[in-house]
Amino acid sequence: MPAPRPERMAELINLRRARKAKARAQKDVEAEANRVAHGVAKPVRKLAKAKAEKAARELAAHNLEPDK
């Protein structure tokens, strides 16, 4: 009598794709760590600085007496 066959075969995977997906996931983890380590992006910092300067200018424009 032949040995009973399993009902399902193992799922086939493309090793090249699996290797690339693993590398991509590792790069994503490293990128997230770098984002945390290096803080806010430069354009975001520049925008925040510009908004703060504009708010200061607008507030100064409402002064009744200019600073001397």
Q: What is d(CA 2, CA 27) in angstroms, rounded to the nearest whole number?
A: 48
Burial per residue of 30-53, b for 16 or more beta-carbon CB atoms within 10 angstroms, e otherwise? eeeeeeeeeeeeeeeeeeeeeeee
Q: How many CA atoms lie within 13 A of 4 on its CB side?
A: 3
Instruction: Give the residues of the chain that fall short of pLDDT 70.
Output: 1, 6, 66-68
pLDDT at residue 58, rounded to an integer? 94
pLDDT at residue 68, rounded to an integer? 59
pLDDT at residue 47, rounded to an integer? 95
pLDDT at residue 36, rounded to an integer? 84
